[in-house]
Structure 1
Amino acid sequence: MFRLSLARPGARSLRPLLTATVLSVAALPATATALPGGQAPSQAALAAAPLPGGLGPCVPGHCPPDGYPPIHNGPIRFRDNGINVYVGGDFHVREKAAEAEGRVVVLGNFDQNKASGVSGIYNVGEAGVGSRVAPPVGADWLTTGGNVTVATGQRLLAEQGVVRHAGSATGTILSQRTVHDPDAAKPYTALRGQLTDASKCYAHPGGGTRTPTGTAVHAGGETLFTGDGTSMLQVFNVDFDMQSATGGQEGIRFARIPAGATVLVNVLGTSRTITTYSGTIDDSSPFNQLRSRLLWNFPDATSVGFKGTGQFQGSVLIGNQASRATVEVPGINGRFFTTGSLTHTSPPSGGGGQEFHNYAFDGNLPDCGSTPPTEGEVKVLKTDQATGRPLAGAVFELWEETNGTAGLQTSGSNPDTRRGTPCTTDGSGACTRKVAPGTYYWVETRAPEGYDLPSPAHFGPLVLTGANASQGVSVTVADHRHVEPKGSLTVDKTDAETGRPLAGAVFRLWHETNGTPGLQTSGNTPDTPVGPGCATGNTGRCVFSDLPFGSYYVQETAVPEGYVLPENRVSGPHEVTAANASRGVTVKLTNKRGEPDKGGKGKGGKGGPR
């Protein structure tokens, strides 16, 4: 039995926070022997559609480009704005359950009332231990169409996200914001019917039972799923509970699954339980390797239970809206979509810390006749390179690839096509256009004030298709703050006769700003002094740095002991320009010795630049 001991759920010390747009589609390794003769998998049974409503894949955010990591408690590096847990009825948190990582949407009530004497914390959005792919900071982490109720002495944590609820909110809720919104769940209500229809279609097309491509045999302390080794949609039908006759744990094993295939397990019957030890925390199990393309579909069940000590792998779809699902396993590693109610709890005896972990589903399922969207969103998000915060005021144009030449062409005899008028990013840093499927580029034509325009300033290609139009495509573009180029001016003071450096000479620098030739240090419009004065040290040198480009005068205000001020105490103008900024400007000035008893009061020297 594995116990999650990397971090206590909700332990804030193990939850560091961080923050382009790549949907993770990880190819699955084969779990069986190679086909004879190096035969390639057949494409005849290739499925054609994702889950309805754009559910399943990672939604940028900042998705993991190389697949989701195993369970860990390291820093958050990636963000997923997709729904990880969807509940069509009520969501109950009981006993020792700990966390629901990723976005959570509940059409009914969310009710947290854990056992007494255990940790009173339940995390949503971000988990102390999990894939550590959390929703974006400031996004809706928990949405309910009903009430949010947290029992006395307990805490619901969604610290970097928003809890949006249509009903009341009682108890301790720690979130970035808790928002009462009567229409909170309205954007998600249609998904319930769509998921029910999809669940029936996957298992019962035309009212019958989908033809399997492989077998599921329950014997020898395990359920063995054996595929046909060729189909890119592997279908299994199960009409039994995956547990021992006495309700004990058994194994789950798959064989002859081609690399990259989607695995659809239709679990038939009105009451079903899976009790298993299969699935590991470190992805060492072949069961884990199927996770991103494995869907457990329960089209008929009114009661569904997940028990045992395994880290259960794959996404779950429960289509019966009158169903009640109970999750007691240490971890569900995949999306969990139920159209009924859900209880997240722990077994009567044994450890706690039960968790939903955020893992996307990237499989291709049977096409149930849904009409793909005719338009989708193409989005650009403008951020500060150093801080990652959104930037307003950037101007973008959207261009579509139309001329058949690879890459973007905005000029010439046959350019690509600009779509719509220029867009200026708002406070969220975003520009969005709803367009037909195609290949698009964003072109930044003006950077926000104080920032440099990137080079190159076009971003893409962003490929919008019927398959991804529901969630849209996007790119994040970071701009650097504009740094004004600067130069420097160095004064070298030496003895007029010996050439040795002189310490103790004092200078003041003036910037030519009034437009009148020569230096003016007084009157209505004098030139501008630059910083404090500077006295030469043993090297005889004064350095004025970080100077904007322009004209400068050097004014000598005091001389070393035993020397006299030159007749002309002002040197210049000296030009600080882009051409000399890297090496700086050097001004060489000399002083003559005075009469022994007059120090620096005489006029015996002729200073000036050399």
Structure 2
Amino acid sequence: MNEGTARPPDDPRTRFRARCTTWLRRTAAGAATAAAALGGLALPAQAAPLPGGLGPCLPGSCPRVYPALNDRPFTGRDDNINLFTGGDFRVRGGAAGAEGRVVTLGDFDVNKTSGGALYTVGVLHFGSRVPPSDGADFLTTDGDVLVAPGQRLDAERGVVRHAGDVSGLVIGGDVAATGAARPYAGLRERLLAAGRCYARGADGRGRPATGTARNTGTETVFTGDGTSRLQVFHVNFDLVGRDGGQQAIRFTGIPVGATVLVNLEGTSRVVNTFSGGATDDNPFNRLRERLLWNVPDARRVDFLGTGQFQGSVLVGDPTSEATVTLPGMNGRFLTAGSLTHTSATGGGSGQEFHAYPFNGDLPDCAPPPRPTGEVTVVDRDAQDGRPLQGARFQLWRETNGVPGLQTSGDRPDTRSADVCVSDTHGVCRSTVEPGTYYWQELQPPPGYKLPDRTVFGPLELTAVNAAEGVSLTVGSTPDPASYGSIHLVTKDARTGRPLPGARFELWRETNRRPGLQIAGAAPDRRADPGCTTDRAGRCAFRGLPPGAYYLRETVVPDGYLPPPERVFGPYAVTFANARSGITVTVKGTPREKGGRA
């Protein structure tokens, strides 16, 4: 199934996306609930989860409290990703399994050398015992699934969904799907950006530490400030004992319920520890679900030792190689790079990842929304300023660094929106991000001609002027082919015979106020000083651009009364009536009749 094909509602990825959306909608409410549970202490401003909905338990049926490591019946179900790799996932040595959902954008490769022939994903006999739902994707890979001869990959209660080929023995549902892990492809870059932001802040200048970390040789002690809801530590050394051996990890000064963010900085890092246990009476264990080990830059990171390591891990570099030989990793493991799950030389077998959520409140590393504003063009008649409907405009954004608009060639600028048609107010507008823009007129309004210069701009939309937007006005000139005419006919109101000698001025509506104004600060414009009806009672005004016109009678035929209203109209000359013209009949009333219509 490719990405563009609609998936059935029961497809595991459809369920995953829907549940992620529901969880994200509840984030704000969950934060408020957590604050209340912490005795009313406010959570840090701009607190956020891991990117992409990663971290918390995704129902399933999430347990209220996650149990310590055990081999008892399931406590709940968690359909979120517990282990993600942007590169390959390699199983070597005596590694035994990965509890929870596993997603890899590379190959999943099982080639063990000790500890039996089996590697299990999804459900482990010993772990948190909160596995994914039966039938969910236990393993999703955008590459191949490679199982060495004589070995087995066990996903018995779930599905192995793969875009590449399968070689070797796979136990469980086997679904080949083009682009199987494509819905998760964006996580690689998001993890990279989030890891760097956690370590250095959104501006890249450094995130202030709230505590200190000190390696004494026998242990690394993390000392918090005792109050902050987000405890931040920067570590530029390996967590190893003397001569690179194991050491203890200890935290002090951490408020109950606080999130702990440890930034392991540098181009490579090693953690070699015996800390962490199977029972949650250990202080290290009690931090587990709010502890994140962030490795923003390392190309290589190793987690070694004999402990049950606690907390989630984020490795940000897509080119990185992570190696895990600890007996247990208890928390999410999310790497933009590749992972080797193995055992230490001569160090036994049975290494496992255990599914525990991350529920911490991290800094909000989503980029602030960019301001937007309106870029507008208004098309008006060049003579009378009337708004013109029906012009077609294309908005372009300056993107190629060459002054002016380029619409073709190897490096054109970028179309920024669909073609816009000016409305009854003559307006085309588009809401866009700050930048430099041009309007290109593609087609004039009906009855008008394209100007010699069809590109207008540049318009500079900035964060400062985005609220009010930027605008320009285009003056359009009528096409001579659309010029119309008004034909005037005068008649005797009683007999219908033609009336010669009536004189009329022609005025054009230009001040956009109802009716004709011939004086004052802003009168309408006289378009023709007048014509006088001939012996047939006729005169005409020709070559009139589209617009609204008034006739004003200035001379009445001899023997006839002045009209009660000397102004007739308005009459609309349009592209539609340009060929036929407009005929106006005015009737005169003889004086002896006492009036004139």
- Deviations 1:276-331, CA, capped at 9 Å, x for gaps: 00000011210000000000000010000000000000000000111000000000
Structure 1 Cα separation of the partners of residues 216 and 104 of structure 2: 38
Take 2:266 and 2:72, find their aligned partners in 1: how far apart are those partners?
40
* Residue 563 of structure 2: aligned partner: none
Q: Does 1:332 align with 2:329?
A: yes
Pair 225,86 (structure 1): closer, same or farther in 2 beyond 3 Å = same
2:180 maps to which residue? Answer: 184
Give secondary structure in 2 for the equivalent of 1:246. helix
1:156–1:174 CA contact under 8 A, matched in 2: yes
SS at 1:210's partner residue? Answer: coil
User: Does residue 153 of structure 2 align to residue 156 of structure 1?
Assistant: yes
5 Å matches for 1:206-285? 206-285=203-282
Aligned runs of 1:542-561 on 2, under 5 Å? none
The residue number in structure 1 matching 2:51 is 52
* Cα contact 2:48–2:361 (8 A) shared by 1: yes
The residue type paired with residue 199 of structure 2 is A
Q: Aligned partners of 1:27 and 1:283: how far apart in 2?
A: 21
SS in 2 for 1:196: helix
* Equivalent residue in structure 2 for 1:92, among 66, 87, 90: 90
User: Following the alignment from structure 1 to structure 2, what is the Cα–Cα distance between the partners of residues 254 and 46?
Assistant: 24
User: 1: distance between equivalents of 2:154 and 2:328?
Assistant: 19
Matches within 5 A, 1:444-463: none
Q: CA deviation at 1:41?
A: 9.4
Distance in 2, matches of 1:309 and 1:220, equals 17
Match of 2:61 in 1: 62
| 2:283 pairs with 1:286 | yes
| Deviation of 1:76 (Å) | 1.6
Structure 1 partner of 2:80: 82
8 A Cα contact 1:145 1:165, kept in partner:
yes
Q: Which amino acid aligns with 1:332?
A: M
> Partners in 1 of 2:110 and 2:80 — Cα distance?
23
Q: Taking every aligned residue pair, what percent have the same amino acid on both sides? A: 57
For residues 481-536 of structure 1, give each alpha carbon's deviation from its aligned partner in whole angstroms, at most 9, with x where no partner exists: xxxxxxxxxxxxxxxxxxxxxxxxxxxxxxxxxxxxxxxxxxxxxxxxxxxxxxxx
Tell me, in whole angstroms, the C-alpha distance in 1 between the residues paired with 2:122 and 2:68.
17
| In 1, Cα distance between equivalents of 2:128 and 2:39 | 33
Could you state the TM-score of these two structures normalised by the residue count of structure 1? 0.54
| Structure 1 pair 212–42 and aligned structure 2 pair: CA distance change class (3 A) | farther
Aligned pairs for 1:117-132 within 5 A: 118-132=115-129
Deviation at 1:147, TM superposition (A): 0.1
Q: Which of the residues 189, 193, 197 maps onto 1:197?
A: 193
8 Å contact from structure 2 (residues 69, 128) kept in 1: yes
Kept in 1, the 8 Å contact 2:217–2:241? The answer is no
Q: Distance in 2 between matches of 1:264 and 1:120?
A: 37
- Aligned match of 1:440: none
1:113 maps to which residue?
111
Aligned-pair distance for 1:43? 4.4
Question: Which letter maps to 1:52?
Answer: P
The offset of 1:207, in angstroms, is 2.1
> Does the CA contact (< 8 Å) of 2:142 and 2:163 recur in 1?
yes
Residue 7 (structure 1) aligns with: none
Matches of 2:302 and 2:361, distance apart in 1: 26
Aligned letter for 1:98?
A
1:46 shift after superposition: 4.7
Number of residues of Structure 1 aligned to a counterpart in Structure 2: 341
8 Å Cα contact 2:66/2:356 also seen in 1: yes
* CA distance in structure 2 between the partners assigned to 1:100 and 1:44 by the alignment: 33
> What does residue range 558-569 of structure 1 map to in structure 2 within 5 Å?
none
Instruction: Tell me by how many angstroms 1:245 deviates.
Output: 3.1
Aligned pairs for 1:284-433 within 5 A: 284-370=281-367
**Offset at residue 195 of structure 1 (A):** 0.8
Do the aligned residues in 1 keep the contact of 2:217 with 2:242 (CA within 8 Å)? no
Alignment map for 1:474-485 (pairs within 5 Å): none
- Summarize deviations over 1:43-88 as a string: whole Å, max 9, x none: 48455110011000000001102x2100011112310000000000
SS of 1:78's equivalent in the other structure is coil
Tell me how far apart the structure 1 counterparts of residues 108 and 344 of structure 2 sit (CA, whole Å): 20
Does residue 102 in structure 1 map to residue 106 in structure 2? no
Provide the TM-score with structure 2 as the length reference.
0.55
1:8-38 per-position Cα deviation (integer Å, ceiling 9, x unaligned): xxxxxxxxxxxx999999989x9xxxxxxxx
Residue 169 of structure 2 is aligned to residue 172 of structure 1 = yes
* Contact 2:218 2:242 survives alignment (8 Å): no
SS of match in other structure, 1:114: coil
* Partner SS state of residue 146, structure 1: coil
Alpha-carbon distance, 1:180 to partner:
0.5
Which structure 2 residues correspond to residues 29-44 of structure 1 after superposition, within 5 A? 43=42
Q: Deviations over 1:518-567 (max 9, x none)?
A: xxxxxxxxxxxxxxxxxxxxxxxxxxxxxxxxxxxxxxxxxxxxxxxxxx
Q: Is the CA contact 1:44–1:231 (under 8 Å) kept in the aligned structure 2? A: no
**What does the per-residue CA deviation read over 1:104-147, in whole Å, with 9 as the maximum and x for residues that have no partner?**
0000000000005x311000000111001100000100000000
Matched to 2:177, the amino acid is D
Kindly report the root-mean-square deviation, in angstroms, between the aligned alpha carbons of the 2 structures: 2.4
**Helix, strand or coil: the match of 1:142?**
strand
